[in-house]
Structure 1
Amino acid sequence: MATPAKVTKTEGKNNHDAADEQADKEQQEAIEQIDEVQNEIDRLNEQASEEILKVEQKYNKLRQPFFKKRSDLIAKIPNFWVTAFVNHPQVSALLTEDDEEALQFLTKVEVQEFDDIKSGYTINFCFDSNPYFDNEVISKEFHLNDTGEPSSKSTTIKWKEGKDLTKKPTAAQKGKKRSHDDQESFFCWFSDHADAGADELGEVIKDDIWPNPLQYYLASEIDEETGAGDEDDLDEENLDGEEEEEEDFDDEDGAEDDDGDGEEEG
């Protein structure tokens, strides 16, 4: 019987290296194929973004007549916008008493997205003649350049003498502050361009208040109605509880009387 040929250590090592090389080759091919598939996914995502943008542009134009009609109707309601701002929890926290007085002359707020939508938007604040500044319109614009770098710019507010709310308040004015003494005026926001990419107030106005300002104008009335209902419910619950206690008390008295009569009979 023939003796099997012995495999040398060198041959075994070579076979193992060949297997590793084959595995590496297959792994590299898989990576290249994954990359090709990923490129197709990215291409579809880009195509979807372009189509979504076209839809947004289409409906943004369709909404404009309704925004105008809404603004015309809002103009008939005194203090609509200042009420909406005061009722909004985030915006209200930024308002001093002086700001609220100045915003009572605010007649119109509008958000105008740029035609391509993705490059930015403008927020316009329209005012009646007032004792604080000469501007009829104060605007703040937000831009994204071709590289995606955000920036902002705004109208310079022409304050009347002694009425600049953005200056540090005097000792007399500090007593009128709603919260802490160093709270900045709402109007400081117009000149704040430090971080245009994370402008929370601009985003709140554009994405929360502007789509449906009526819900915030009515918020105080809704809260009052809800609060009244809660009080009525509590009163009813208390009344029911008192009636139940009285019934229990009567039952206990009756039971005691029965026991007492029984003892006397005995």
Structure 2
Amino acid sequence: MSNKGLIIEERSRDIGDFLVGRLLPFRKKRMVGPFIFIDHMGPATIKPGNFVDIGQHPHIGLSTLTYLFEGELQHKDSIGSNQIIKAGAVNWMTAGKGVTHTERTPEKLRNGTTTTMHGFQIWVALPKELETMEPEFHHIERDALPKWEENGAHYTLIAGEGFGKKAPTPVHSELFMIEIKTSEATKLNIVDQVKGEIGICVVKGSISACDEVINSGNMVVSKTEDACKVEVAENTHLLLFGGEPFEEERHIFWNFVASDKSKIEEAKTRWKNKEFPKVPEDNSYIEMPS
């Protein structure tokens, strides 16, 4: 999904062991592990006149992860993928040297019905040595993702490794993304369960950390790997994510991510000159912001 106009500027604050802000990137913390962009989509009402219709746009240097709580989305890309994603499944597209894709409300939902769409669009930067790899697309059905319960919390491992489990999502670096839903108040014990930097998106409900309550719509980032002493309220919905950070800085412009600014300049020229590969049978084109 294009990130034009989607990054919500944070009101970040420091509460001790954690930074609190509105999703990624925010000023005090540009990345969490390899995660460089997180956009909370919806919940939005999908109906005639309000369908999702995101035309062709490019990516380089990253993988996109789409995960829905509600609704459906149709992904098509320049390597020939055509996949409808439903709630609980994962779309994982690795752009590498360059890919173009579209995201739209599926045809079967354009019959006058009203549905809800709610989920997350996530970008994961690629390791430097894989930034120009061949593009790939993988779809993982919800039943293939590891799920378990512990202390009144339901866990789903969306990508990477955590809590002694490994998801089938074919990631390219050490990372984790875990959905957590609580039916009762519980303590979240993350120590030694995941590796690297740790972020928590509060989708619904609230958590307590460092004697502060963090409500839905916010993200907390742990400043150290083992500082996560978090209490989770009942009926709370979280995304726990992070991993090992890269040594090199990542630059981001529009939908392009790279460790070398010259790769971004090259991609800008290619998109302006319409030299990226195209999605088959699609003539849409999203202009690059100036």
Decide which structure has greater strand share. 2
Rg larger for: 1
TM value normalised by structure 2: 0.21
Greater fraction of residues in helix: 1
TM-score, with normalisation over the residues of structure 1? 0.22
